[in-house]
Amino acid sequence: MFKKTSTKWILAIASAMLLSGGVFAQNKPNVVILATGGTIAGAGADVTNSASYQSAKVPVDKLIIGLPELAKVANVRGEQVFQVGSESLRNDNLLTLGKRISALVKQDDVDGIVITHGTDTTEETAYFLNLVIKTEKPIVVVASMRPGTAMSADGPLNLYSAITVAGSKDARGKGTFVVLNDEIHSGRDVSKMINVRPNAFASPWGALGMVVEGKNYWFRKLDKRHTTNSEFDIDKIDTLPLVEIAYAGGNVNDTAYRAFANAGAKAIIHAGPGNGSVAATLVPVLQELRGKGLQIIRSSHVNAGGFVLRNGEQPDDKYDWIVAHDLNPQKARILATVALTATNDSKELQRIFMEY
């Protein structure tokens, strides 16, 4: 598992041995932590502040030093890629992160990657990486619901679990993961369902497995295309097109749709109620925008997992619209953004939405 010893690893291992007194074992996996910010790097004023704190404050080296147990399960080193709340991450950040991961996984002395991240858009970053990184090595996005300064902070155990999954041979070739609260979720399926509890994340079709005391327990695999079986490659993507989400409920108007089109969006995710339903008053403007070359993608904003069927309540064939299948609006935005780097053909895009 541990092939070449580059200087970076020698320094990381030496510091880990100093700090943890851990015995350096040649056969421990080498895991790189790429830190982006979020609550897992957050700090509150008092141990009672589990929900009011400042996100993206603690640097990656302090996260590692603060958890000497990591050195018992892997040789760990960190890189600070960003230090932001994940709600502020943009397409350019996804490209930078993805290209760094792609470069690292090509190295023989890297066995797995952990990305520390804010929970708000964990589900977007994890899905993006699932689509574009050509590797079987485990890539794990980890976050926390409470800052490390709070009582019953969840970050340390989430990070420990993430490192053990990222260093595990049995995690190879299964796509990207999100690890929190002892659960191993697919980066494709998982979504943040609650915003104030440690059990915030869920997957409509269930977690892939559990990780308990550093041991993985697998229950299922992702059936959709990902990583080495994906037609998309971050190394061949230099820009990402603008895709916007229009949230629709009752009394919806066409203002946002027209504004997104005027701003240069190449596709609009219609985040509709129920089956991605489209109000009668919206149909004409969606037809007009489609006629101008924008892709219209129907998704559902229902809470526990939508399932938008083609030609269900809307004549998608007639209007040449696309359905997002079981992807929620924010996931649909990620897939449309990546897919539009390869094609603008609506039938090809629909194929992609059914396969990924």
| Residue numbers annotated as active site | 39
Burial of 310 (0-12, 13-18, 19+ CB in 10 A): middle
Region near ligand DGL per CB under 6 A, out of 34-42, 104-112, 220-228, 316-324: 34-42
119 binds ligand DGL (CB under 6 A): yes
Region near ligand DGL per CB under 6 A, out of 117-125, 166-174, 224-232, 279-287: 117-125
For residues 60-73, one letter each, b for 16 or more C-beta atoms within 10 angstroms of the residue's C-beta and e for the rest, the string is bbebbbebeebbbb
Contact code string over 58-87 relative to ligand DGL, x by CB under 6 A: ---------------------------xxx
In angstroms, what is the minimal distance from the CB of 18 to ligand DGL? 30
For ligand DGL, which residue of 74, 105, 143, 289 counts as binding (CB under 6 A)? Answer: 143
In angstroms, what is the minimal distance from the CB of 337 to ligand DGL? 19
330 binds ligand DGL (CB under 6 A): no
Please identify, using beta-carbon distances, which residue of 159 and 261 lies nearer to ligand DGL.
159
Region near ligand DGL per CB under 6 A, out of 36-44, 309-317, 336-344, 345-353: 36-44
124 binds ligand DGL (CB under 6 A): no
In angstroms, what is the minimal distance from the CB of 181 to ligand DGL? 12
22 binds ligand DGL (CB under 6 A): no
In angstroms, what is the minimal distance from the CB of 178 to ligand DGL? 12
For ligand DGL, which residue of 50, 55, 135, 203 counts as binding (CB under 6 A)? Answer: 55
276 binds ligand DGL (CB under 6 A): no
Count of residues near ligand DGL by CB under 6 A: 12
Please identify, using beta-carbon distances, which residue of 120 and 182 lies nearer to ligand DGL.
120
The residue type at 11: L
Please identify, using beta-carbon distances, which residue of 79 and 87 lies nearer to ligand DGL.
87
Q: Enumerate residues 236-275 that contact ligand DGL by CB under 6 A.
A: none
158 binds ligand DGL (CB under 6 A): no
Please identify, using beta-carbon distances, which residue of 91 and 275 lies nearer to ligand DGL.
91
Please identify, using beta-carbon distances, which residue of 15 and 88 lies nearer to ligand DGL.
88
SS (H, E, C) the chain: CCCCCCHHHHHHHHHHHHHHCCCCCCCCCEEEEEEEECHHHCECCCCCCCCCCECCCCCHHHHHHCCCCHHHHCEEEEEEEEEECHHHCCHHHHHHHHHHHHHHHCCCCCCEEEEECCCCCHHHHHHHHHHHCCCCCCEEEECCCCCCCCCCCCHHHHHHHHHHHHCCHHHCCCCCEEEECCEEEECCCCEECCCCCCCCEECCCCCCEEEECCEEEECCCCCCCCHHHCCCCHHHCCCCCCEEEEECCCCCCCHHHHHHHHCCCCEEEEEECCCCCCCCCCHHHHHHHHHCCCEEEEEECCCCCCCCCCCCCCCHHHHCCEECCCCCHHHHHHHHHHHCCCCCCHHHHHHHHHHC
Q: Which residues would be at the binding site for ligand DGL (CB under 6 A)?
A: 37-39, 55, 85-87, 118-120, 143, 145
